[in-house]
Structure 1
Amino acid sequence: MGRVNAMYPDKWIGRGGPIAWPPRSPDLTSLDFYLWRHLKRMVYATPVNTRQELWQRIQEVCREVGNTPRIIREKCLYPPSNKSYNLARSEDDPSMGQSHQIRLILGEEKVRQGGCFVECGALDGETRSNTLVFEKRFGWKGILIEGDPKNVELVKKKHRKAWTVDACLSTKPYPNTVMFHQQFNIGKISKKQPGHRVAGHVEVLCLPFYSILLAVNTTTIDYFSLDVEGVELDVLKTIPWDRVDIKTLSVEFIHGPEGKSALKTYMQERGYSVYSEVTHPGKLANDFIFVKNDLMPVTEVTLT
């Protein structure tokens, strides 16, 4: 300690040092990023009048937080609509080609038997949706995930028959909050720190993919559409692949800083092959189509 005192007089923290160790560590942890703020918001959702009431409230909230899937279901999910569709166009497949490739992989018979999808980057629930055709024409169940609160309201107005998640997909294996840059179809997670007012940005909750699946009580996904403007690989790395069964995916590759090869290699290491690439001259699609190795078609398939 003598050397530390000599080099950093009155400028270090520790036991027996000039500055006592604070009750809250200066090191940032996952608890700092999400849990403490979330607990405080829940504890003070209604006024607390006494110290005893505060203590009871803290205990109740801590027990409640332990049931994460139920909290997600109650606080962040909107159930499938029972109203008639409210779509701007009559077409039921506005996808840029991704859905067609998935149908080729699975085969028409399997598609007609029903399935389950997840679409992250749901936008307004209709524009270039990769999952609308599976839901509307074939009766699939599914989950629509959208990080921009403005877009979530648009999704709800479409009356989709799928769960709608008002949150981003987390790039960490735990919930956290981020600043989201709102730009309709090119909105994305910002590098700006939460807790500050920034024009065109909003603070949003991010949830792990696996936690969302548990909240709707499913771990088998026939088709996962992932378009999150550059953090696709980070999201994929949070998935516990040994606990889920994802048969096919379309994953945008154009914005990821790691490049196409890193995304392709990661998925190959998880037991997936590239079935095809879907591109569009107007850059409206730049996706890999991945399929589990044991589901890769051995013969060419045509759709009726």
Structure 2
Amino acid sequence: MDFKFARLQYPKDLDWNLIKCRVNKYHVKSIFIILSLGSCGFFLVENLHQVKDGTWNNYGIDCDIVQKYLKGELKDEFNYKDMQIQVQHLMISKDKTTIYSTFEHRPLLNCLEADHPHLSHVLREDIMIKPNKSYTYYNLRDENATEFNTKHAQQAKDVMEMIFKDKRNGFFVEAGAYDCEISVTLPLEDHYGWTGILVEPMPLTYNLCKQVHRQAHLIHTCLGTKDRPYFTKFDFESAGDVMMSNTSAISTTAGFASQERASVIEMQCFPLYSLLLALGNPTVNLFVLDIEGFELAVLESIPWDKVDIEVLDVETDLAGIFQKDSSREKIIKFLDEKGYDRFSHRNDFNKLTGKYQNDLFVRRDIVKKFNVKQIY
């Protein structure tokens, strides 16, 4: 099947009534039909709620039709256009900082299975930022950020001392990489030559990530909770508030939206399995999962028989607050059934939530291989 790419630019005063955005039962059209408009470039959407078709109906692309074609159930030939739709978003944060961001929506990808070759190609070649080996130094605000004695590096220190014993050239996935400097995996990368995938959805911190010069792939997205890519509401300011008492609450960092407000925009999330396939489905020595309360949903979406994940470091203190059918106990039970033993981190008590923040899960064959013991 030949995927064709269309990059279209329309004038700002475009009359949306002139644009057709439908897929009929006989063929899959490109999302938008040009009526003598524009030249090559990117199609820019400034306010999705002003258009007839958008994320709410996958920009008019019917995934059922696409799937029927891919399965050979439709006999006619089709040309699919993998539209790259640039969505601009302006947000004023609580501290009055103006955050101006551009996101790419590619609705055709939502119709593809997690292991489709085109999806792997797009993630690897178009969406992920590859590590730039020409950089021989990190661009850090804190010159000690790579050391194991920092607060955020305690998890990495436990992983090395309890499990991998100075293992070199490992592979990680860090979901919730923040600014890539306050990062669990940075010391592993700097001291032991690890690499991997850094996943960060927040525009401001993602842009900071790009400046650090990490030697790992970087992607501006959210980890999906489904087995295909999809659009979902994501809150760039906070996943929500956590009540500390009857009168006080703390706000978490960005996450899946729990309410409608100006900081919420539709993001395209991708399954972890798709991200791994884009890089050849490597063994993941360490999977750091810190996505503000939706960890169980991501874990449940992983095809465990198709991936090789040795160790997981999962934030569990927000489980059950935003994803209501989750809890720390459910996460522990789920991973126990998948063959993982739980270990505790040292110095991990979160005074803000009044709970231990993270749990370490080691696959039982790795426990045996490295003779993993709890240390205090």
Normalising by structure 1, report the TM-score. Answer: 0.74
Match of 2:237 in 1: 183
Find 1:37's aligned residue among 59, 78, 82.
Answer: 59
Match of 2:292 in 1: 229
Find 1:90's aligned residue among 128, 143, 147.
Answer: 143
Change (3 A) 1:219 1:238: farther
Change (3 A) 1:136 1:299: closer
Find 1:252's aligned residue among 277, 299, 315.
Answer: 315
Match of 2:194 in 1: 140
- Give the CA deviation at 1:275: 1.7
Q: Which structure 2 residues correspond to residues 67-146 of structure 1 after superposition, within 5 A?
A: 67-81=118-132, 82-83=134-135, 84-91=137-144, 92=146, 93=148, 94=150, 95-109=152-166, 111=167, 113-127=168-182, 129-146=183-200
SS in 1 for 2:303: coil
SS in 1 for 2:189: helix
- Give the CA deviation at 1:192: 5.0
After the TM superposition, which of the residue ranges 161-170 and 145-154 deviates more from structure 2? Answer: 145-154
Answering whether residue 358 of structure 2 is matched by residue 295 of structure 1, we say no
- Give the CA deviation at 1:139: 0.8
* Equivalent-residue separation in structure 1 for 2:127 and 2:258 (angstroms): 23
* Equivalent-residue separation in structure 2 for 1:289 and 1:122 (angstroms): 17
Match of 1:18 in 2: none
Find 2:349's aligned residue among 265, 277, 280.
Answer: 280
Q: Identify unmatched segments of 5+ residues in structure 1.
A: 1-21, 25-31, 41-54
Change (3 A) 1:213 1:299: closer
Structure 2 counterpart of 1:71, one-letter code? V
SS in 1 for 2:359: strand
**How many aligned positions are there?**
253
Change (3 A) 1:249 1:283: farther
- Give the CA deviation at 1:167: 0.5
Identity rate of aligned residues, in percent? 29
- Give the CA deviation at 1:203: 2.2
Write 1 or 2 for the structure with the bigger share of helix: 1
Cα deviation per residue 1:91-144 (whole Å; 9 max; x = unaligned)? 2144252111210233324x1x321011000000012x1100111111111110
Structure 2 counterpart of 1:260, one-letter code? R
* Equivalent-residue separation in structure 2 for 1:97 and 1:106 (angstroms): 14
* Equivalent-residue separation in structure 2 for 1:146 and 1:207 (angstroms): 12
Indicate the RMSD between aligned Cα atoms, in angstroms.
Answer: 3.1
After the TM superposition, which of the residue ranges 62-71 and 228-237 deviates more from structure 2? Answer: 62-71
Q: Identify unmatched segments of 5+ residues in structure 2.
A: 1-22, 26-53, 63-75, 83-107, 239-251, 321-325
